[in-house]
Chains A and B, each alone.
Chain A
Amino acid sequence: MNLVQQLINGIVLGHGYALIAVGWTVLLGVARLVNFGHGQIYMLAAFVTWWAVAGLGLPYPVAILAAMLAGVLIGLLMQAAMLRLTFAQDLVSIMIVTLGFGHMMRGIAGLVFGGHPQVLETPLSYIDFEIAGAWVTAQDLAVVLVGIAAFALLHFGLERGTLGRTARMVAEDPKLAQLAGIDVKRVYFAVFAFEGAAVALAAAMVAPRTPILTSIGFEEVIVTFVVVVLGGIGSVAGSYAAGLGLGIFTALFGGFVSPAYATTAAFGVLIVVLVLRPSGLAMRAGGR
């Protein structure tokens, strides 16, 4: 096995992981909410991208936007249904409701898109480069670049300016934020819309690397969980580092030990880290 190839695979995989997790990072960090329908939004968005490209013949960038729009709509719909639970910060009910939404989305996807695996081909998949004896496609590069751009925007957006301050106020004390004149309901809707858009963007970027089935999404939720927890809940920089680290670990473990046990090993690492550093790997909640 070529070490450089595995490292490159790991970097691409890691950016994909980070991108998949970014919505949850904000969701948990800003609003103290969870969404266990996250994986199914990923799955639906992958189908929407595929359908826009293969069915409607739209250009890939337009298909990405269509998927993100679908993600936003699903996010808003979910939040509208859960608003009371959100205000009460009833996490157990929110967990169950979002799981239910996930199952409904899987059923709807089966009805609309059928049970056959689909392959999303983008113009970028056919372009490849050689770097130090290793191969990388333009799609892989795009995943890395979009991942970096998304995290950089979010990091600066949340660290500076009114938006970030509002987010931190709602995260710390939503009730008190109301007294500062903040429409907390709007913030919650915005956060869920962002979560939907972000996971849809991730799906549109990452899904061309694997077949699209209505059953995908579960692994993405697990990966998201690992990334968000390892990164220190709510930390933007931490999630990026954790996603990248997990991707490289998975690629190297898969390449040099056994791909079949890569996820098992990743969970082993998660447990060890959480025993040693219960607040995650991030030194501080940098993104908050």
Chain B
Amino acid sequence: MSTPILEARELRVTYGGHVALDIPHLALAPGELVGVVGANGAGKSTLVNALLGWSRGAPAVSGSVRLAGEEIGALPPHARVARGLALVPEGGAVFMRLSVAENLAAATPPAGAAGRAHDEAQIEALFPRLRERRHHMASALSGGERQMLAIARALRLGPSALLLDEPSIGLAPRLVTDVLRAVRGLVDQHLSVLLVEQNVRAAIAVVDRLILLERGRILAQGPVAAMRDDPRILEAYLGEAAA
């Protein structure tokens, strides 16, 4: 196996002594789409946030994070972004008081990432809806459009690995398929993506590999073909159906 694009070792997150995440090892290969699934509170968002060293709260994060072989675990979030790791947090976080065009312009690709960064034409080809809404304020967008804008903004940064936290949350089923298909398309163009997804069924349709989290620990992981019929995954399905 080639050097992972993103690799974490002994990644631990604690909130006031309570261990929220404990991952001995996790790797994302170049051009791979890995789905992270699990019940509510399993630590899925905590995981992707910790990889970027980012959080809305103030957890204690320790461990090693490597991007393309380079240690970035001690860097602040903006510096990890500059190295080529991008995060789209849960809920399609965009700047509500900026227009769509300004939201996109706000993310300038760091030096060295210019070659990887999506330009405006590529963004518009990926999400034609954003072209129509270009001059609207982000606050006027629908949930799906905000999600597209948030992903587009991350792509403008030219990441080599992208962390996507629940892009399907709150979206109509049709849009879920659209957004995840767009993500698959990006991976087919050699972007590496770690996708947190509560919608297990939708995730299975697009990912290469699955990681099942429970209470902050990896319960099972493997290629999607092998994991598809894993009873624990089926349980997650059931959890989803019950929710």
Chain A interface residues (CB < 8 Å from chain B): 88, 162, 165-166, 168-169, 172-173, 175-176, 178-185, 288
Bound complex: CA A168 to CA B98 (Å): 8
The 6 nearest A-B residue pairs measured at CB: A181-B81, A178-B77, A180-B107, A183-B78, A178-B78, A176-B93
Bound complex: CA A180 to CA B107 (Å): 5
Residues 139-158 (chain B) with a chain A CB within 8 angstroms: 153-154, 157
B86 cross-chain contacts in A, Cβ below 8 A = 179
Residues 68-108 (chain B) with a chain A CB within 8 angstroms: 76-79, 81-82, 86-89, 93-98, 102, 105-108
Q: Which of A88, A166, A179, A288 has the most CB of B within 10 A?
A: A179
Further 10 A-B residue pairs, CB within 8 A, beyond A168-B98, A173-B93, A179-B77: A162-B108, A165-B105, A173-B95, A175-B54, A178-B77, A179-B89, A179-B93, A180-B153, A181-B110, A183-B76
Cβ A165 vs Cβ B153 within 8 A:
no
Q: Which residue of A lies closest to B96 (CB)?
A: A172
- Number of A-B residue pairs having CB atoms within 8 Å of each other in the complex: 59
27 A-B contacts (beta carbon < 8 Å): A88-B58, A165-B98, A165-B102, A168-B95, A168-B97, A169-B98, A172-B97, A173-B93, A173-B95, A175-B56, A176-B89, A176-B93, A176-B94, A176-B95, A178-B54, A178-B76, A178-B78, A178-B81, A179-B52, A179-B86, A179-B154, A180-B157, A181-B78, A181-B82, A181-B107, A182-B78, A183-B76
Given the known inter-chain contacts A175-B54, A175-B56, A185-B76, please indicate yes or no for A180 contacting B97, CB distance below 8 A.
no
A182 cross-chain contacts in B, Cβ below 8 A = 78
Interface of chain B: mostly helix, strand, loop or mixed: loop
B93 cross-chain contacts in A, Cβ below 8 A = 173, 176, 179
Cβ B106 vs Cβ A169 within 8 A:
yes
A165 cross-chain contacts in B, Cβ below 8 A = 98, 102, 105-106
Bound complex: CA A64 to CA B82 (Å): 38
A169 cross-chain contacts in B, Cβ below 8 A = 95, 98, 106
B154 cross-chain contacts in A, Cβ below 8 A = 179
Q: Which residue of A lies closest to B81 (CB)?
A: A181
Q: Which residue of A lies closest to B105 (CB)?
A: A165
Interface size class of B (residues with CB under 8 A): 20 to 34
Bound complex: CA A11 to CA B148 (Å): 50
Bound complex: CA A275 to CA B105 (Å): 39
Residues 220-234 (chain B) with a chain A CB within 8 angstroms: none
B89 cross-chain contacts in A, Cβ below 8 A = 176, 179
Bound complex: CA A255 to CA B79 (Å): 57
Cβ B95 vs Cβ A184 within 8 A:
no
A172 cross-chain contacts in B, Cβ below 8 A = 95-98
A288 cross-chain contacts in B, Cβ below 8 A = 97
Name the distance in Å between B95's Cβ and chain A's nearest Cβ. Answer: 5
B95 cross-chain contacts in A, Cβ below 8 A = 168-169, 172-173, 176
Name the distance in Å between A177's Cβ and chain B's nearest Cβ. Answer: 8
A183 cross-chain contacts in B, Cβ below 8 A = 76, 78-79
Name the distance in Å between B99's Cβ and chain A's nearest Cβ. Answer: 10
B76 cross-chain contacts in A, Cβ below 8 A = 178, 183, 185
Name the distance in Å between B178's Cβ and chain A's nearest Cβ. Answer: 23
Residues 193-239 (chain B) with a chain A CB within 8 angstroms: none
Name the distance in Å between B138's Cβ and chain A's nearest Cβ. Answer: 10
A180 cross-chain contacts in B, Cβ below 8 A = 81, 106-107, 153, 157
Q: Which residue of B lies closest to A288 (CB)?
A: B97
Cβ A181 vs Cβ B108 within 8 A:
yes
Bound complex: CA A169 to CA B38 (Å): 33
Name the distance in Å between B106's Cβ and chain A's nearest Cβ. Answer: 5
Bound complex: CA A100 to CA B95 (Å): 35
Bound complex: CA A32 to CA B73 (Å): 29
Q: Which of B58, B82, B88, B95 has the most CB of A within 10 A?
A: B95
Bound complex: CA A172 to CA B96 (Å): 8
Given the known inter-chain contacts A169-B98, A173-B93, please indicate yes or no for A184 contacting B54, CB distance below 8 A.
no
Q: Which of B54, B78, B87 has the most CB of A within 10 A?
A: B78
Bound complex: CA A54 to CA B66 (Å): 59
Q: Which residue of A lies closest to B89 (CB)?
A: A179
Q: Which residue of A lies closest to B94 (CB)?
A: A176
Bound complex: CA A162 to CA B105 (Å): 9
Q: Which residue of B lies closest to A184 (CB)?
A: B78
Bound complex: CA A175 to CA B93 (Å): 10
Bound complex: CA A162 to CA B98 (Å): 12
